[in-house]
Chains A and B, each alone.
Chain A
Amino acid sequence: GESVGLHLPTLSVQEGDNSIINCAYSNSASDYFIWYKQESGKGPQFIIDIRSNMDKRQGQRVTVLLNKTVKHLSLQIAATQPGDSAVYFCAESKGYNKLIFGAGTRLAVHP
């Protein structure tokens, strides 16, 4: 079993509810942001990205919001499903596609 990552901040939601995962980024000069999902034993999987000239971007069941004033990024997942259970990372780009990852949030979906 996996013992790492147990001390990550955890968001627990009921199946069918909406989830909001928040992220504070560090560099005001970053102009590209990405959300990744990491399931146990797998690599990070791209979910959605947003450029700094946008405030909001929608995908399938997911929405990313960017607030550059307070350097805040959020990921909203609509109608959360058990398959959404994973660790979610935000990342910012500082050029040359050098992604700087945040600490990660574990999403636990309960039936």
Chain B
Amino acid sequence: DTAVSQTPKYLVTQMGNDKSIKCEQNLGHDTMYWYKQDSKKFLKIMFSYNNKELIINETVPNRFSPKSPDKAHLNLHINSLELGDSAVYFCASSQDLNRNSPLHFGNGTRLTVT
């Protein structure tokens, strides 16, 4: 059983296009996140949602719009894709906002913008 699943695993697209990445967790967690991992393996938080409410927005360009239809899903829509958006995007979830709550990550979506 996959705890945090994201689709697609690979996404290749051209500059200027709009794309979405979907994420679902079956852990019953209240909080979900999007992280971006660059080519140097550096992981940086983008967004977090708690019970469908936006909690963290880390100065991400407004071309990135997360959407949480329910607490088990957090999708990421990206408009007008740019070359610099190429990265691996990880979805994660945690029990709640309690700081002692480990994050569970999906296996990532590798986005390549050409």
Contacts and interface: CB of A to CB of B under 8 A. Distances in A.
Contacts of A96: 48, 55-56, 97, 99
B42 A103 contact: yes
Contacts of A44: 43, 90, 103, 105
Contact of A4 (B41, B44, B92, B101): B41
Contact of A43 (B42, B45, B105): B105
Interface residues of B, number: 28
A81 to B, nearest CB: 22
Contact of A97 (B4, B103, B106): B103
A45 B96 CA distance: 18
A5 B41 contact: yes
B103 A46 contact: yes
Nearest to A101: B43
B13 interface: no
B97 A99 contact: no
A7 B40 CA distance: 7
A103 to B, nearest CB: 6
A36 B104 CA distance: 10
A59 to B, nearest CB: 12
A82 to B, nearest CB: 21
Interface in B35-57: 39-45, 48, 55-56
B71 to A, nearest CB: 15
Contacts of A15: none
A104 B105 CA distance: 16
B102 A43 contact: no
A97 B31 contact: yes
6 contacts: A4-B40, A43-B92, A45-B105, A96-B48, A96-B97, A96-B99
Interface of B: 4, 31, 39-45, 48, 55-56, 90, 92, 94, 96-108
